[in-house]
Structure 1
Amino acid sequence: MEQEQEQEQEQGEVLEDDVVDLAGAVRELSTDNWPTGYVYGATRYADVILRESFSDRARDLEKALDNFAPTLDELRSGGGGRTVFVKRFDDSLEAMTAEGGQRIWGKQNITISKSIALDGTTLRTTRTRGHEIDMFGRGTLDAPIPGIAVEMEWNNKDPFYDRDLINFQALHHEGAIAVGVIITRGPGLQALIGPTVRSKDGGFKYGQSTTHWDKLIPKVNLGGGGECPLLLIGIEPERIQGVQLAVRTKDALEKAEEFKSNWRKSYSRWKDAKPVHDQMVSEARDLMPPVNEEKNANSDED
């Protein structure tokens, strides 16, 4: 049984409720009624902590997730800099305020200072600066820490996950955050747009080496994030407006591949079948050609 559980972790699978918990492993949520159109996972009961101990911040996050609906055109045209719909998500959190209108969410630089003293005299001070948290939600106005850290990793190289997880681990260890949240492309969305959305140079915009669910889960299951409770959220196709075009494109590409696998049923030579296959691929690609990428003036990473 233990060997099977280890194999599941190596494959990046989310453990189900009837599997004995492994410390820090990604499990299905213990709470219900989260916004639809996402896949969820949690470590160390992060969803319970968020709902029970930080209910206001949980409601803020759920509202932002409910309202998040990027378009397929935005996915296709997003270029360098900060993607417009990622910024829109962050802005929706930042617009949420506490009673009285006080600001409760926003970018935050968190600095941890440590000192060594003898008989009350400080002899050495070291300062460790955590990277800027994209969205930090204060616990309360009176007691801002521990708070909630939220990072959306839409389309970066997957080492950005390591940065976030290391930072969450350090900040949780020092009591600065109670829960770390990472939002990224879900497995269904990656399977859909990975082979269909292309950049203007003809390559694929959302490659396997970039940030998506199946890259994140193994990192966490191998200990990423340490003892920090993590809520992991994968964006799925249901959240994307106009996604039907990508579905049609993928279906057409799959028909071309099916023809290639069975070409001998209709042709005796691949030389004769290849032009038909190439035409099918070309027609599929023409359904969703590359578009000009829009660069945002904000150069922050997504």
Structure 2
Amino acid sequence: MFETKTYDDPVVLAPAIRERWEFLETSSAAAVLRSVCPDEWADITEVLEQFALDPRQWLKAGGNRGDIAKEIDDMFAHRGWREIRVDIHTEGILYAKNNEEVGRLPVVKQEGYLVDNFKGRVALDVEWNAKDGNLDRDLSAYRAWHEAGVISAAVLITQDRLPLKELAQELWKDYQNTLLESYRNPKLPIDLSTSTTTNLDKAALRVRRGVMGTCPLLVVAATRSTWNGQPFVP
């Protein structure tokens, strides 16, 4: 596994975007995307520039994962990205020394799963507060698709859990201070206590084990700087 930091190059990624998100990268993914998939990279950087974490959506009971993920997915859909299932069929063909075909092996079919967003040669998933086992599925699929020549790189958008947990607690406390004491509730409306959800740390553990092989992967995580600066208002 080759962990790189081409996203720190201002030619590759605008510093204003770099400051608002945390990144983890293998095999120079950001530079690869910019060079090999410029249209898709333009879409990705536009979304990262425009998206801001809104407490009204983020701290809404029952809507945490769905609302945030749907908002980001909709931004990509508006730019022509589609939810796609990638299946891989592999066939072995036998040739004699004179290049004459002498037989074929049975086709091996590998059924894939729906990737949140797919365009050109880029696969992109939004994993926001889902079960962290989803990461095993996502990363293994990216590696298989890259080795089969289907994609040039993959992108995973998630969250930096601890900084966002601290921010949520601050915003919730500020909101509670606006209420009469008898109406106050110290408990957050969403559960941010568990670490067994999709987040930057969980992705990093897997990536640093080398599960990506040579597949370029860019993990992008929302953090405190991704917040839109607004207070929580129900």
Instruction: Output the TM-score relative to the length of structure 1.
Output: 0.61
Separation in 2, partners of 1:26, 1:216? 15
Give the aligned CA root-mean-square deviation in angstroms: 2.7
Question: Which amino acid counterpart does residue 110 of structure 2 have in structure 1?
Answer: T
* Match among 77, 86, 89 for residue 110 of structure 1: 86
Q: 2:118 aligns with which of 114, 118, 136?
A: 136
Q: Which has the higher contact order (CA 8 A, sep 6+)?
A: 2
Please tell me whether residue 68 in structure 1 is matched to residue 51 in structure 2.
yes
> Among the aligned pairs, what percent are the same residue?
25
Give the aligned partner of residue 279 of structure 1.
none
The residue type paired with residue 84 of structure 2 is Q
Correspondence for 1:175: 149
* CA contact 2:36–2:152 (8 Å) conserved in 1: no
Task: Give the whole-Å Cα distance in 2 for the aligned partners of 1:172 and 1:194.
Answer: 40
1:162 partnered with 2:140: no
1:30 to 1:114, Cα distance in 2 relative to 1, 3 A:
same
CA distance in 1, matches of 2:136, 2:68: 23
Residue of structure 1 aligned with 2:167, choices 173, 181, 192: 192
- Deviation at 1:81? 9.1
Deviation at 1:92, TM superposition (A): 1.4
Counterparts of 1:144-293 in structure 2 under 5 Å? 147-186=121-160, 187-193=162-168, 204-205=191-192, 207-242=194-229, 244=231
Supply the AA of the counterpart residue of 2:9.
Answer: T
Measured after TM superposition, the shift of residue 135 of structure 1 is: 0.5
Distance 1:30 1:81 in 2: 30
1:89 to 64, 68, 72: 72
SS in 2 for 1:177: coil
- Structure 2: distance between partners of 1:135 and 1:221: 24
DSSP-derived class of the 2:212 partner = coil
Offset at 1:237?
2.0
The 1-side partners of 2:119 and 2:164 are apart by 27
Contact 2:54 2:230 in 1 (8 A): yes
Contact in 1 for aligned 2:6/2:30 (Cα 8 Å):
no
SS at match of 1:181: strand
Distance 1:71 1:178, change over 3 A: same
Give the Cα separation in 2 of the matches to 1:206 and 1:226.
32
Unaligned ranges ≥5, structure 1:
1-22, 97-103, 139-146, 246-287, 292-302
Cα distance, 1:243 vs. partner? 5.2
Specify the code of the residue in structure 1 equivalent to 2:91.
S
> Compared with structure 1, are the counterparts of its residues 81 and 127 closer, same or farther at alpha carbon in structure 2 (3 Å cutoff)?
farther
Q: Which residue of the partner structure matches residue 125 of structure 1?
A: 107
Equivalent pair of 1:26/1:217 in contact (CA under 8 Å): no
TM-score (norm. length: structure 2): 0.77
Tell me the equivalent position of 2:7: 29
Q: 1:116 offset after TM fit, Å? A: 3.3
Letter of the structure 2 residue corresponding to residue 133 of structure 1? V
Query: Partners of 1:166 and 1:78 in 2: how far apart?
Result: 32
In 2, the alpha carbon distance for the partners of 1:58 and 1:46 equals 10
Question: Aligned residues, how many?
Answer: 208
> Which whole-Å deviations, capped at 9, do the CAs of 1:148-200 have from their partners, x for residues lacking one?
11111110121111111101110000011111111111252244337987565
Which amino acid in 2 is paired with 1:115? E
CA distance in structure 1 between the aligned counterparts of 2:169 and 2:214, rounded to whole angstroms: 32
Alignment gaps of 5+ in structure 2: 95-100, 173-186
For each residue in 1:16-41, what CA deviation from the matched residue of structure 2 results, as whole angstroms up to 9, or x when unmatched?
xxxxxxx3335463522151410112
CA distance in 2, matches of 1:219, 1:120: 43
